[in-house]
């Protein structure tokens, strides 16, 4: 065991995967000699060579198209998109190609591809370096979507994603890249996809979050506990496939629901979570479900704290829901 931050844990997972399987290939803009814009892949090319850690041209369409071809021919590529905001030029490759090969070939071909992408705000990146596009890919049948909040989960989930036979979008909350630290096994291990985790047990209200917003939800839960409100906080970890059973069990127990995410409110994943839980636990609800989200505007540079659903916005929503 070693204390690692999120960057170190992801790098540890990538190193383990590259060492353990000659078919694993890491590729992306500046991932080799530079070590990536956040230095997540620093040192991997020097250790494993240019044929295993590939610097690519600045073309997201090319990166993802090449990675899909590699996967179809037996490799296990891990493609990095420098910022999730840059993934849109490759959207067609993911949605119309990677996501559909298993279906269109009746299971003859699969695409064991992982796409890593730093996402979200909190670094004063403005509108082109702060977006949270997870709902676009959750909406696409054939894609799996993962978003760890801490170093332990990041390593275990990434190794599982690389071992998966289907394409996985692996969104990394860059706001806590170096802020979140914990003990992580040095040896390889996996965490199954599709399993949420209850990180704070409570009886009065269920709060669902993922990525960097988990810490804001926990901070808000501690704040409202001073008013006697007992909040259960759930970290989704895998957004799709969704661990709906854990969410239903929590809402049936507490009768109240708050969902937190950075992405804009309209058609965000929070809307789907609310719908699913209303369908399955309506008679257990004692208050309308509440979403605390980003706003329906481009991500601002100068008003980042006002845009993000931080603890100072989550706590009042919890109080209102608990007292409904």
d(CA 103, CA 276): 25
d(CA 186, CA 215): 25
Residue 230 — left, alpha, or beta (φ > 0 → left; ψ -120 to 50 → alpha)? Answer: beta
d(CA 120, CA 133): 9
What are the backbone angles phi and psi of residue 292, rounded to the nearest 5°?
Answer: -120, 115
Pick the catalytic residue: 129, 139, 261, 312?
Answer: 129
d(CA 55, CA 66): 13
Nearest to 99, CA basis, from 145, 160, 146, 59? 145
d(CA 53, CA 20): 14
In the residue annotation, 129 being an active-site residue is answered as: yes
Annotated catalytic sites, by residue? 129
């Amino acid at each position: 065991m070693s204390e690692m931050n999120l960057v170190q844990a992801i790098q540890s997972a990538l190193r383990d995967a590259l060492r353990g399987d000659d078919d694993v290939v890491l590729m992306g803009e500046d991932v080799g000699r530079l070590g990536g814009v956040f230095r997540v892949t620093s040192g991997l090319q020097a250790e494993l060579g240019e044929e295993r850690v590939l610097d690519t041209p600045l073309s997201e369409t090319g990166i993802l198209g090449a990675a899909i071809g590699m996967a179809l021919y037996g490799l296990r590529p891990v493609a990095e998109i420098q910022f999730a905001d840059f993934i849109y030029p490759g959207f067609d490759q993911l949605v119309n190609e990677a996501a559909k090969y298993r279906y269109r070939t009746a299971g003859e071909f699969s695409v064991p591809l992982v796409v890593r992408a730093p996402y979200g705000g909190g670094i004063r990146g403005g509108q082109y370096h702060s977006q949270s596009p997870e709902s676009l890919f959750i909406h696409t049948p054939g894609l799996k979507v993962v978003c760890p909040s801490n170093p332990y989960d990041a390593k275990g989930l990434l190794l599982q994603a690389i071992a998966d036979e289907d394409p996985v979008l692996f969104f990394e909350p860059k706001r806590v890249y170096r802020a979140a630290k914990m003990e992580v096994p040095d040896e390889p291990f996996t965490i199954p996809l599709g399993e949420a985790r209850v990180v704070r047990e409570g009886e009065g209200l269920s709060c669902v979050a993922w990525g960097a917003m988990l810490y804001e939800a926990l901070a808000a839960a501690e704040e409202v506990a001073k008013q006697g409100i007992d909040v259960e906080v759930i970290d989704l970890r895998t957004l799709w496939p969704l661990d709906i059973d854990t969410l239903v069990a929590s809402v049936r127990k507490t009768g109240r629901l708050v969902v937190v995410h950075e992405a804009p409110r309209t058609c965000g994943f929070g809307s789907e979570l609310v719908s699913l839980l209303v369908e399955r636990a309506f008679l257990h609800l004692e208050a309308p479900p509440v979403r605390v989200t980003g706003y329906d505007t481009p991500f601002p540079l100068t008003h980042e704290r006002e845009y993000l659903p931080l603890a100072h916005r989550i706590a009042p929503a919890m109080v209102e829901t608990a007292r409904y």
